[in-house]
Amino acid sequence: MGRELTKKERMELPRQSMPTQDPLDRIKNFDEVALGLTAEMAITEADRCLECKKPRCVDGCPVGIDIPAFIHEMQEGDFEKALAIIKKANTLPAICGRVCPQEDQCEQVCVVGNKYKPVAIGRLERFVADWEVAQGGEIAMPERQPETGFKVAIIGSGPAGLATAAELALRGHSVTVFEALHKPGGVLVYGIPEFRLPKKIVEDEVGNLEKLGVEMRYNWVIGKIASVQELFDEYGFDAVFIGTGAGLPYFMGIPGEDNIGVYSANEFLTRVNLMKGFDFPAFDTPVGMGRRVAVVGSGNVAMDCLRTAKRLGAEEVICLYRRTRAESPARLEELEHAEEEAIDFRWLSSPVEIYGDDDARVAGVRVQKMELGEPDASGRRRPVPIEGEQYDVKLDTIIMGIGQGPNPLVTRSTEGLELNRWGNIVVDEETMMTSIPGVFAGGDIVTGAATVILAMGAGKVAAEGIDNYLRETVRVPKAQIA
C-alpha cells in the first residue's frame, strides 16, 4: 500500500537524484554512467506525484504514456502493473527512460515543477523497465492480435522503424525490417555510446520484437538491393514504411576539412560504438584519434563525441560551439555529465579554418570568437563574429558534430516521392503517408534530425496510418490474391 501523504508533504519530498559512476572512474570506462534509482528511491520519487486530475505530463509525452497511472502503481509498489501501463503506449521504455529529453517534455510541464523540482518521470520509467529485465525480462509482453495476412516492410531499424514494427506486429501484421548495417538499432547502436545506452538493452528490445514475430534482415540496403517499388512488386509487401533517419553527416564547408583527422561525428561514433574501435586491436576497426581533440557543436551527438574522446584517453577534449551554454541543444543531463568529466567548453567559438601538416594530418584549427546578436528565425540570438578576434588551437583530431541531414539512398531511388527542399520526405501528418500510396515515413527522415522519442512517436502514428490503410484501402493482402 502506498503512503498516505498530503499534497504539501508530497511536494516537499526531495527529488531523488540519480546515482552515477564517479566522474574520475567513469572517464576510464565505457560502462553506463547513470546507475538507476533503487526501488526505495523510486517509490519515494513516485510519492512526489500529485496525480493531477488534468495531467499535463501526458500531453508532454510524444507517445502519450499515462504517466500518473503508472506512477500511481509505483506508489503502491506494483511495478508490474506500472510496466504494463507504460508498455501500452511505449514498447521501448528502457531506451526512452535513458535518452528522452524529459526536461523539454513531460517534466517541463509537471505541476510540481512550478514550485519545486518536477517529478523525475524519466528516471521512474527507466526504473520500471530495468526492473523488468532484473526479473528475467519480458513480463509485460503485450498480446499479438490474430494474423491479418498483410505484409509490411520497414526500412531502417532505428527508433522509428522499431516502434512502427512493434505496433504493426501487435496488430497482427507480418513485419519485415530491412537494416543496411549488420546490426539492428540504427542510431541507438552506431550513434549513442554504450555509457549512455548499453547495447544489451537495444539487443533485448529487438529480441522482444522477434518474439512478436518481426523478421529482421541485416545488410539490406533498400535503394540498392531492392527499390521501394520492388518491395511491393517482387517481394509482395502491402505497405512500406521508410524510417531511414538522418544519416548524412554535415560538414562546415571550411578550408581544411578533408585533412586526415577530421571526422564526422557519425564516423567517429560508428568506429567506436558499432565497430567497437575502443577495443582495437581485439576488434579490427581502428579509431585513429589523437591526443588533442576538438568537437564542433553542442548537441547530444557532440556530447557523445566529447565524452567518448575522453574515455578513449584524449588528453585535451575541447568543445567549440558558436553560441553559449544556454542555447546548447543537448539534454541538460548530458551537458552536466560532460562538465563533470572536465570537458573544456569554449562557448562563442566557431572554427573558420583547419590546418594540416605536409601529410595532410590535422595540426590545428583557427577559431573565430563570436558574440550573440539579434534573435534569428529559431528565436535564439544569432551568433556574430567579433571582428579581429581569432585564435589558434593545436589539435590532432577534430570531430564535426553539427548535425545530420536525410540520407538520400532511399529517397533518390524512389520515383514520385515528394521531398521538401532539405530532402526530407513530405507526409500527411495524420497518417504519415507519403505522396506514394502505401508508402509511409516517419522519424528523422521526415522531421530532420530530432530525438529518439519523437521518432518513436512518429512510428506509432505511422503504424496507425498503415493499419487503417491496409484494412480500409488494400483490404485483401497480396499474399491472398496470388
Q: Residue 129 carries which side chain, given as an amino acid letter?
A: A
Give the other-Cβ count within 10 Å of 234's Cβ.
Answer: 10
Q: How far is the CB of 359 from other proteins (least distance, A)?
A: 6
Stretch that binds other proteins, among 67-75, 118-126, 244-252, 324-332 (CB under 8 A): 244-252
Q: Is 313 in the site for other proteins (CB under 8 A)?
A: no
Q: Is 247 in the site for other proteins (CB under 8 A)?
A: yes
Identify which of residues 300 and 328 has a Cβ nearer to other proteins in the complex.
300
Kindly identify the residues of this chain, within the stretch 335-364, that bind other proteins according to CB under 8 A.
359-360
Beta strand 248-249 with 239-242 is unpaired
Kindly identify the residues of this chain, within the stretch 210-229, that bind other proteins according to CB under 8 A.
218-221, 224-226
- 481 φ/ψ angles, rounded to the nearest 5 degrees: -80, -45
Q: Is 71 in the site for other proteins (CB under 8 A)?
A: no
Q: How far is the CB of 230 from other proteins (least distance, A)?
A: 9
Q: ∠136-195-328 over CA atoms, to 5°?
A: 130
CA distance 473 to 436: 13
Pick one of 409, 423, 431, 478: the residue that binds other proteins (CB under 8 A): 409
Q: Identify which of 221, 199, 236, 197 has the alpha carbon closest to the alpha carbon of residue 96.
A: 197
Q: How far is the CB of 302 from other proteins (least distance, A)?
A: 16
Angle of helix 39-47 versus helix 121-134 axis, rounded to 10: 150
DSSP3 helix / strand / coil % (the chain, rounded to 5): 40, 20, 45
Cell numbers for 312: 578513449
Q: How far is the CB of 202 from other proteins (least distance, A)?
A: 15
Stretch that binds other proteins, among 14-22, 264-272, 332-340, 420-428 (CB under 8 A): 264-272
Q: For residue 364, what are the β-bridge partners?
A: 355, 394
Identify which of residues 40 and 284 has a Cβ nearer to other proteins in the complex.
284
Cell numbers for 343: 570537458
Identify which of residues 187 and 214 has a Cβ nearer to other proteins in the complex.
187
Task: Print burial letters for 103-127: b (CB count within 10 Å at least 16), e (below 16).
Answer: eebbbebbbbbeebebbbbbbbbbb
**Contact characters 446-465, other proteins, x per CB under 8 A:** --------------------
Identify which of residues 211 and 412 has a Cβ nearer to other proteins in the complex.
412
Q: Is 133 in the site for other proteins (CB under 8 A)?
A: no
Stretch that binds other proteins, among 89-97, 136-144, 257-265, 291-299 (CB under 8 A): 257-265
Which residues, 6 or more positions from 51, have their beta carbon under 8 angstroms from its beta carbon? 68, 71, 72
Cell numbers for 145: 492480435
Q: How far is the CB of 249 from other proteins (least distance, A)?
A: 5
Pick one of 260, 352, 419, 474: the residue that binds other proteins (CB under 8 A): 260
At residue 153, the 3 state secondary structure works out as: strand
Judged by the rule CB under 8 A, the positions of this chain that interact with other proteins are 180-182, 190, 218-221, 224-226, 247-249, 251, 257-258, 260, 263-264, 266-267, 270-271, 274-276, 280-286, 288, 359-360, 407-409
